[in-house]
Structure 1
Amino acid sequence: MNMRALLLAGVATLVLATSAHAEQAAIQQTAPAADQSDTPEARSLSGDVIVVTARRKNEAAQEVPLAISVIKGDSIEATGNFNVVKLQQLAPTLQVYTTNPRNTSVNIRGLGVPFGLTSDGFEQGVGIYVDDVYNSRVAAAVFDFLDVSQVEVLRGPQGTLYGKNTTAGAINITTNQPTFDFEGSAELTAGNLNYKQAKGAVSGPITDTLAARIAVANTTRRGTIYNVRTQRWINEQDNLGLRGTLLFKPSEDLSITLTGDYSKQDPEGFGTTFVRVGRTQRALNRQYDALVAAYNAANPTRPYSVPSRNPYDRLTDIDANLNAGNKIGGASLKVKWDVGAGTFQSITAWRFWDWKPENDRDFTGLSIVSKSQNPSQQDQYSQEFRYNQEGEKIDFVVGLFGFKQRIDTQGTEQQGPDASRWSLTGAQANDPSILNGLTATNTQFLKATSGALFGQLSYKVTDKLTIQPGARVNYDKKSGFYQRIVTTGAGAVINCTPAPAAGTVLAAQCGVYQPQNTSPSVSKWNFSYDLNVNYKFARDILGYATYAKSFKTVGINQNGLPLTAANVPDLTASTVKPESVNHYEIGLKTQFFNRLATFNLTAFRTDIKNFQATVNGGQFGTVRGYLANAGKVRSQGVEADFKIRTSDRFTAYANGAYTDAKYKKFVNAPCPPELSGGTLQAANATPDYSQPGVAGALSPRQCDISGQQLPGVSKWAFSYGAEVNTPVTLLAKEGQVYFGVDGNYRNRWNSNASPSIYTEVKGYALTNFRAGFRGEGFDVFAWVRNAFDVNYIENLQVAPGNVGLIAGQTGDPRTWGGTIKTKF
């Protein structure tokens, strides 16, 4: 598909629509007024009607036959869930885990992206859309919501309605749009940990046909982990976001929206704390505690010890530079044109992402890995044409989508003066010059092109029965380049092919970093489809059943490849097969008590063949992680959502999810730490799993983890909230005094690609309170989050080298503060 032609066509749409709308208005015949009694806005009798755009048109959420969670902007602000990462506290089936903005996993029902180190060479299974624009980089999940109207979390495949194929779901974010009446809002928040947040938005007319809206948000907060080496707090927040929108509306049937946004983060992060040590199968004197003891014996004047073995002391001593410089933004042009019985839309967009990280990859205060950084720059272009039409018996949506992306990355990883003692044995361990300054310089790029034709038809067989088939034809092409050059501390370039003789200095250096040069390329056509049948048993009872045949497109390995027995890159691992998805879902949506109460129930099962999984090599050197296909994965479960408003004085909600997501067949998975680090078993031997954590035992070459849970998924997750208020007059102002509570619970989950006894994260429950006074145009409230100061871990990471060190990031302690909001 010619991307340039699609983009030109998108701009041409602007010219065509502007010139044609006057002609259309002139010839348009007078038609009888439509019946407004059954519009989403008019359908509510007593309960609130939540209008969503999940199916690319305005509908009441309760009449959309799919599993969807809707979080309004006011709820997001009141509960302090200011980005997608925090949003999981309100949506139990959403899992978001991040070690830094690039290494972020956004999953729904346990599916979406492989858990572990991020590679640019694969697609997200959960699409993030902001005002109909697809954000290809998951880093968008860590930025503050900016002037958001509402967020819709759609569960299950959405490829026949959304431009970029989404096999696990979509997060559809809608921002507030320009208005032709002047309005504005401002919000100030302050709290402990030197937390400060300011938000503001102004909207209004410029002329009778042109309106504008400007929004800004700024968030700063002291870090939650104290680095005793640098004597400063790390993992801080430092966010700034700007958005500007122009709306040109020359008539009721034509609107043209131009939007630009820019957000940046510049915190010192993301560092880790010591969590625990777990025995591996490496020789005992080559594991963490013994290595530290050996280092101290050799350096009696500067012995090393971790500042605390209790992660909740929130102390670290990591010595490498930390940085998480992060910029994202872009521009979009959206044309919406009512043409006869339907609506035509064109969305032309460009987005960029600039990532400038620095990390400590050894997770210690020793200078083992002295430098680790992989700055990236991304540009993406997308063009979507969409036409939808509603009729008495038939509604349909049809769309054409084009996407082009380029990502350039320049990586540097360097060994420090303590690397030899940590990674080598015998006399070489006492010679720091062997590894000190050894540097791997990586240059890589990715080019990705995607095109799709998609559509969905809704046929009303009767007033109660509707059948909705959908289909998608998709083409993807990816090509990449990866080059690793390795130089010694003296600057000499090394070559590791053929494999150097054992025991030599070169062999030691090649065992840490190996040069590599690959240029993977792959393309693929795919056809997917779905069928939804829904039946309205009564005015407020809707049942539905869905089957979807979907896919996640091909991938390429962009972070290097494993080596063959001949010590050369294994080119068979260059590309990754598409995931083949079969999805089944049934649901029931109900309202009762005169629509004051809502109860929705969903059961689902998703079977995936050739699941794209992360394989972690566990070593400093050749490759830390790459993609491979697991045989089969299954995710199944039940979700329930309940909401009630007994009166204007009380509202409550409770949501729950049971998710059983596991590998059904993964016979050649990487082994967990407890089965790694020893001399490898013979190539044809039956893997022996009987000696986990036994130092010196033979280690399996790969492990069969069939039947084990997928990483990052809690089987049980719940969220709840309630608010009560009473009318009062305070300081001559009429309003309401209110008290609110919200909370969430997730049970245990594992944070390693192959579940490990050392990386199991305990379940936890968080509770938040708020109390305040609000009236016409203002809201003042105090809040406390994690009110009971629960200690919990957000993520665990396995240190390289099979030394048994487990590091992690602790969740926020109790925080408190106050917020003042005003609207005018």
Structure 2
Amino acid sequence: MKTTKIATIALAIASALSTTVSAQDTPSTRQQKETSLEKITVTAQKRTQSIQEVPLSIATLNGEQFESLFSAGEDILALATHVPGLYAESSNGRVAPRFYIRGLGNTDFDLAASQPVSIVMDEVVMENVVLKSFPLFDIQQVEVLRGPQGTLFGRNTTAGIVKFDTVKPSQDFDAYAKLGFGTYNTLNFEGAVAGGLTDDLSARFSVLSQQRDDYIDNAFTDQKDALGGYDEKAWRAQLLYNPNDRFSALLNLHGRDLEGTASVFRANIFDKGSNNLNDNYDRETVYFDGDLDGNGADNNPQEYEGFGSSLRLTYQLDTVELVSITAYEEADGYSLGDIDGGSGSGETSNPGFIPFSAVTQDSLNDLEQFTQELRIASNTNGAVNWQAGAFYFDSSFNVTSIDGYFGATTVFHENTTWAIFGQSSYQVTDKLNVTGGVRYTHDEKSLDVGDQNVNGFALVTGDATIQDYEHTNVDDGQVSFELSANYKLTDDASLFARYANGFRAQTIQGRDVAFEGSPSVADAETINSVELGIKSDLLDNTLRLNAAAYYYQIDDMQFSAIGGGNNFTALVNADKGVGYGFEVDAKWLATDSLTLTAGYSYNHTEIQDDSLTVQPCGSNADFEGNCTVTDPRLEGNLAIIDGNPFPQAPESILSFTARYSVPVGENGEVFVYTDWAFQGETNLFLYEAVEFTTKDNFEGGLRVGYENFNHNYTVALFGRNITDEHNVKGAVDFNNLTGIMNEPRVWGVEAKVMFF
């Protein structure tokens, strides 16, 4: 089994590293090694605190542990399973990632889909799925906040938040350049330069360039290296004006430009009755005939560009701090997919039997997002700390869906939200701190349908008609609240308890309009969550061990019923959804030369609605479908999903890293760093089927290099997915047994130099 394999590899590495520790010398002139764990500060409660004092489950990534994940040009999806409880996947290539925390997420692939995991970059919420995919570079720290965060961060945070903070400008000169080159001509460059421009003004400019050549052949057109590559460029410019101790202004400008391949769909890579990959699967070969422009196979192209800005103003008074954050984001682009994953139809299809061809293109146009947050917070050392604020959000965009049979349809989305909130903490005793918060949010969404393309072939055959759809509008206002307590057992250990309530706002889904369907609406869902945890620094502050157990219940849980014979995407509300489990995060400075980290999460989720049914794997009233459904069935082949786990919710996640170093001379070291991530059983859809359940997926990474402390440079050999695992990450079920796979193994070399 793969579980045994990864455990054996991890234990072997740890054992090999540990047995050589005693042979090391540590010259006195060598850079000082860590003898105790560093203090980690977070801003999970919108103020700087030690991670050990915040009464909620938090994991962080930074430094080498973060940089190694992206050494081969990976996108934001590389974070998946490297933090216990955190998962991510996509059927839209390097844009529109879908995040899950504690099993709670949204599998909807539409560009207007909402998610219960919020992405916050430099204190600005990235609401649209395309904005969530902004490239990661020059990152100071990642914070994963597990559980509802509705009081301080608002609606659509019922699962949690992934929070990114970039490196900020300073008066001190600081620069670095990092260049990596690997398999498939993968090129990864990242750099930044910062320093003071005047006594009051400092700046930082950062850039990223990620490239990979096409490496997948299209056997249908006999075209070599037809797809699979990408060219991603991104930049960030920051100006910090700090004339005195009371006032500061931080301006952030950033942009991206992406061109490459969208997701690669692979037809019939499973045999009916099995989830094992069959002979139809070849990582470097597909059979694509998808064509919307009349120029032959399009090979799943993708292009996106975006621009954003934010201005953070801070003013310190004697007892309070005033903060204003104004932000604007925009994006445009498209992705095209040969959804059936093969060529031809019927007896002439390849690979395997494909009933009919399916190719679609979704374009996001004129996305504009404006946010404004105002906060006032106490600025004293008293027993009571508090903050209060107001938030405004406005977003508009349109999505055009083009199908090779039905033609094109454009739907227009608008979303306006406003909220007021407050939170206060009270130091009851030297050991006990209690925090409470409340927020009121009002959310309004609307959808309008533009003109349908009368040139769709379905109009000629009579399968489609030009329809008039009425304006769709939904609005709701709800209160979110939380209460938590942190109790210090000792100076190095504390217990925390937290009760949190939040909601995901009502949602409108308009994609089915392009396929002769009607818009669907889901009511708001509400979550109530309880968690208990312990945080501790042990063994003379060389071992950090944090753990939390949780239970949550979601009323009127939103799901996206995707698939069936027509591949409709309809929103539904389940009566309830429940989840429970635990997470453990550990970091151990085993010796001066060996550092180990490990994390594990167990998560049980369950849909509770005895009347909710969905159409599975291409089924309809006359056709049973092309997969082996294990759920009870009703007339019309509808599957009863009561008791099923949430889709794309791994039951367990295990992560492990080890870093071992050997001194070289007085000013350098050779190091070995490895990271491994394991994903337990995962159901891909709302219904359960043998073919669409994955189990025991894992990937490993490796870095071996030399670091010079005197001249501030590092050179390293790296590998990602070093055992070349072939892991199923997603599937398309309406036409045939189509799968979406992980990225291939990449070996490379990387060099980084820093200037101070």
TM-score band, normalised by shorter chain: 0.7 to 0.9
**Cα shift at 1:47:** 2.3
**What TM-score comes out, normalization by structure 1 length?**
0.79
Given residue 625 of structure 1, which amino acid in structure 2 is its aligned partner?
T
CA spacing shift, 1:725–1:635, aligned 2, 3 Å? same
Task: Tell me whether 54-63 or 787-796 shows the greater mean CA deviation.
Answer: 787-796
Q: What is residue 402 of structure 1 aligned with on the other side?
A: 392
SS at match of 2:729: strand
**Cα shift at 1:392:** 1.8
Alignment of 1:778-817 (within 5 A): 778-800=713-735, 805-817=736-748
Which of 551, 560, 572 lines up with 1:628 in the alignment? 572
**Cα shift at 1:488:** 5.5
In the alignment, structure 1 residue 324 sits paired with structure 2 residue 324? no
Alignment of 1:221-620 (within 5 A): 221-223=212-214, 225-228=216-219, 229=221, 230-276=223-269, 309-320=279-290, 321=298, 322-366=300-344, 368-369=356-357, 371-377=359-365, 378-389=367-378, 390-415=380-405, 439-483=406-450, 485=452, 487=454, 505-506=461-462, 509-510=463-464, 515=467, 517-560=469-512, 574-620=520-566
**Cα shift at 1:640:** 0.6
CA spacing shift, 1:463–1:728, aligned 2, 3 Å? same
**What TM-score comes out, normalization by structure 2 length?**
0.86
Given residue 636 of structure 2, which amino acid in structure 1 is its aligned partner?
P
SS at match of 1:111: coil
Alignment of 1:646-725 (within 5 A): 646-665=590-609, 667-673=611-617, 676-679=619-622, 699-700=635-636, 702-725=638-661
CA RMSD of aligned residues (A): 2.7
SS at match of 2:56: coil
Task: Tell me whether 266-275 or 588-597 shows the greater mean CA deviation.
Answer: 266-275
Distance (whole Å) between structure 1 residues aligned to residue 271 and residue 454 of structure 2: 33
Given residue 559 of structure 2, which amino acid in structure 1 is its aligned partner?
A
Given residue 478 of structure 1, which amino acid in structure 2 is its aligned partner?
K
Which of 764, 779, 783 lines up with 2:697 in the alignment? 764
Q: Give yes or no for contact 2:114–2:129 (8 Å, CA) kept in 1.
A: no
Larger Rg: 1
CA spacing shift, 1:242–1:470, aligned 2, 3 Å? same
**Cα shift at 1:516:** 5.5
Distance (whole Å) between structure 1 residues aligned to residue 180 and residue 505 of structure 2: 43
Q: Deviation string for 1:282-324 (max 9, x for gaps)?
A: xxxxxxxxxxxxxxxxxxxxxxxxx984324432111122211
Q: Give yes or no for contact 1:224–1:234 (8 Å, CA) kept in 2.
A: yes
Distance (whole Å) between structure 2 residues aligned to residue 546 and residue 702 of structure 1: 40
Q: Give yes or no for contact 1:90–1:719 (8 Å, CA) kept in 2.
A: yes
Given residue 628 of structure 1, which amino acid in structure 2 is its aligned partner?
V
Q: What is residue 59 of structure 1 aligned with on the other side?
A: 49
Q: Give yes or no for contact 1:386–1:398 (8 Å, CA) kept in 2.
A: yes
In the alignment, structure 1 residue 204 sits paired with structure 2 residue 150? no
Q: Give yes or no for contact 2:37–2:544 (8 Å, CA) kept in 1.
A: no
In the alignment, structure 1 residue 215 sits paired with structure 2 residue 206? yes
Distance (whole Å) between structure 2 residues aligned to residue 253 and residue 94 of structure 1: 38
CA spacing shift, 1:698–1:484, aligned 2, 3 Å? farther
Q: What is residue 30 of structure 2 aligned with on the other side?
A: none
**Cα shift at 1:440:** 2.6
Q: What is residue 91 of structure 1 aligned with on the other side?
A: 83
Distance (whole Å) between structure 1 residues aligned to residue 453 and residue 265 of structure 2: 27
Given residue 254 of structure 2, which amino acid in structure 1 is its aligned partner?
D
Q: Deviation string for 1:554-605 (max 9, x for gaps)?
A: 1112223699xxxx966xx742110011111111001111211100110011
Alignment of 1:46-125 (within 5 A): 46-80=36-70, 82-100=74-92, 101=94, 103-112=96-105, 114-118=106-110, 120=112, 122-125=113-116
Q: Deviation string for 1:58-113 (max 9, x for gaps)?
A: 1111111111111014321133375431012421311101111555311101113x
Given residue 536 of structure 1, which amino acid in structure 2 is its aligned partner?
K
- Point out where structure 2 has 5 or more consecutive residues left out of the alignment: 1-33, 291-297, 346-355
Percent identity between the two aligned chains = 26
Distance (whole Å) between structure 1 residues aligned to residue 301 and residue 320 of structure 2: 50
**Cα shift at 1:187:** 0.3
Distance (whole Å) between structure 2 residues aligned to residue 111 and residue 799 of structure 1: 24
Task: Tell me whether 704-713 or 44-53 shows the greater mean CA deviation.
Answer: 44-53
Q: Give yes or no for contact 1:401–1:451 (8 Å, CA) kept in 2.
A: yes
Alignment of 1:16-35 (within 5 A): none
SS at match of 1:231: strand
SS at match of 2:152: coil
Which of 742, 745, 749 lines up with 1:818 in the alignment? 749
Q: Deviation string for 1:679-702 (max 9, x for gaps)?
A: 289xxxxxxx9x9679xx985363
Q: What is residue 147 of structure 1 aligned with on the other side?
A: 138
Q: Deviation string for 1:518-550 (max 9, x for gaps)?
A: 421011110111110221111111111111121
Q: Give yes or no for contact 1:602–1:640 (8 Å, CA) kept in 2.
A: yes
Q: Give yes or no for contact 1:484–1:515 (8 Å, CA) kept in 2.
A: no
Aligned length: 689
Given residue 87 of structure 1, which amino acid in structure 2 is its aligned partner?
L
Q: Deviation string for 1:415-459 (max 9, x for gaps)?
A: 3xxxxxxxxxxxxxxxxxxxxxxx432021011000011121101
Task: Tell me whether 521-530 or 405-414 shows the greater mean CA deviation.
Answer: 405-414
- Point out where structure 1 has 5 or more consecutive residues left out of the alignment: 1-43, 281-306, 416-438, 495-504, 682-688
Q: Deviation string for 1:473-523 (max 9, x for gaps)?
A: 000011111256363568x967xxxxxxxxxx53xx24xx77462421011
Distance (whole Å) between structure 1 residues aligned to residue 719 and residue 102 of structure 2: 29
CA spacing shift, 1:517–1:720, aligned 2, 3 Å? same
Q: Give yes or no for contact 1:630–1:669 (8 Å, CA) kept in 2.
A: no
Task: Tell me whether 403-412 or 357-366 shows the greater mean CA deviation.
Answer: 357-366
Q: What is residue 645 of structure 1 aligned with on the other side?
A: 589
